[in-house]
Amino acid sequence: MDLHLREATPADAEGVARVYVESWNDGFTDLMPPRVLDAAQIARWSRDLDAELVRWQLVESGGSVVGFVGTGPSRYPIDPDLGELDTIAVAPSAWRRGVGRRLMDAALDDLRGGGYGQAILWTLADYERGRTFYEATGWHSSGEVRDSGREVAFRHVLLG
């Protein structure tokens, strides 16, 4: 699979929205209600990709978006030394083909480049596939929870 990593722009909203909906619906089966790819979802991603707080990168294969990742400052908890992996998603058709690892490497490089000493990400407590991937890429469960324990945090030491 030929993979090309680049910065995402609002013009990528439809491809990013498609990957988001497909990965959500396949990855969170029985955990969360399904998402729908519609004009509202595309508009949401157009706004998110245009926002300056999060840096969005994507991977293309054959001219199509197959995955994306967003990084930026931590929103919860707010800590100037803590970066956050906001979202990472890979199209199910590209699972287990190196796309997730490529995106994670890019995200960690971006967070290190931003001068963050540590990074945090939040995931559903019951999302085993994600938790396994995060652990395989150097993240460690921190014991932090939110949303009445429905979400758990993983941390990654970047500098030090």
For the chain, list the domains and their CATH numbers. 4-157 (3.40.630.30)
Q: What are phi and psi of 144, to 5 degrees?
A: -75, 145
Q: What is the mean pLDDT of residues 7-31?
A: 93
Tokens of 11: 């013009």
Res 122 pLDDT > 70: yes
* Banded model confidence at residue 33, pLDDT cuts 50, 70, 90: confident
**pLDDT score, position 154:** 96
Cross-sheet strand order for the sheet of 151-157: 4-7, 55-61, 64-73, 82-90, 118-124, 151-157, 140-146
**pLDDT score, position 28:** 77
Q: pTM of this prediction?
A: 0.94
| Average pLDDT of every residue of the chain | 94
pLDDT tens digits for 57-108? Answer: 999 999 999 999 999 999 988 898 999 999 999 999 999 999 999 999 999 9
Angle at alpha carbon of residue 7, lines to 6 and 10, rounded to 5°: 130
Q: Distance between CA atoms of 150 and 6, rounded to whole angstroms?
A: 33
Res 1 pLDDT > 90: no
- Cβ neighbours of residue 115 closer than 8 Å, sequence gap 6 or more: 159
**pLDDT score, position 160:** 58
Element (H, E) at 39: helix 39-50
Beta partners for residue 83, in sequence order: 73, 119
**Strands 118-124, 82-90: pairing kind:** parallel
Beta partners for residue 153, in sequence order: 122
